[in-house]
Structure formats: C-alpha cells, structure tokens
A = this chain, B = another copy of it.
Amino acid sequence: MIEYEQAGEEVRAVYDDIMQTRQTDWINNFWKALAHDPATLKRTWQSIKEIMAPGTLDVLQKELIYLAVSVSNQCPYCIASHGAAAKRAGMTPEMFGELMAVVGMANETNRLASGYRVEIDERFKSASGF
C-alpha cells in the first residue's frame, strides 16, 4: 500500500482531493492499494466523486444502494467501507436492518423468477422503460 509520504505527485493530488471532498484527514486502504496503478486510482476516484455527489438522489440514498449491491455481491471490504460510509451519511441501525431484509428478499425472488422461467408481463415491457 502506498502511504501519503511515499506517494508521487500524481497520487498525492488524488489523496488530497479525497480528503478535501470527504472532509477527513486519512485515506482508506482501497485507495492506497489502487495507488500502485495511478491511472486507475485517478479514473476511479473521479468517477466515484462524480457519481456519489448529491443529485436527484441524495448522498444517503446513493450510499444505501452502494451498500446493498456490495452485500449482494458478498464483498467483505466493500460491506465494511460502504457500511461505514452509509452510517456517516445518516443510516441508522433500523435502516440497515430494513436494507438487509430487502437485499435478502431480492436475492430470493430473483432466483424464483428465473427458476420458474416467468415471462415478462406485457405491461412491464412498456411501463418500466423510460
């Protein structure tokens, strides 16, 4: 992992932007690992910064979605880091419990729908596409 002190200029610029954007004074291991490949570090940070900024969905809603996908994919690091991020954004234990219930149920019904080979209803073909 590349610590701030050993980092080159390009990496330091990303670290500085991460800390400023998040209003923190430390860098978590994910970025320190990516720093071995400065191009990926920079591109990934810029994408996340753009995607996770408040839009028509607020920061909490975005972090809940990020956490839900990470739980569904069973990624231990991402569950830990985005669990912390969601908590910082306002997720309470009750909200986490409800999120987990939805993620569990979605994983169950995804398989029920696929296993029973359910055909898409006519109304859904038109209704859900924007």
Enumerate chain A interface residues (CB-CB to B < 8 A).
26, 28-30, 33-34, 36-37, 39-40, 43-44, 47-48, 50-52, 55-57, 61-62, 64-66, 68-84, 86-87, 92-121, 123-125, 127-130
A102 contact set on B, CB distance < 8 A: 51-52, 57, 62, 65-66, 69
A72 contact set on B, CB distance < 8 A: 69, 72-73, 111
Chain A binding surface SS class: helix
A56 contact set on B, CB distance < 8 A: 92, 94-95, 98
Q: How many copies does the complex hold?
A: 6
Q: Please, could you name 29 A-B residue pairs with CB atoms under 8 Å apart, sorted by A?
A: A30-B118, A33-B113, A33-B116, A34-B116, A36-B130, A37-B94, A40-B100, A40-B104, A43-B47, A44-B109, A55-B98, A57-B95, A68-B69, A69-B72, A71-B114, A72-B73, A74-B75, A74-B114, A79-B114, A79-B128, A80-B121, A80-B125, A81-B128, A93-B130, A100-B112, A104-B109, A104-B115, A105-B108, A107-B107
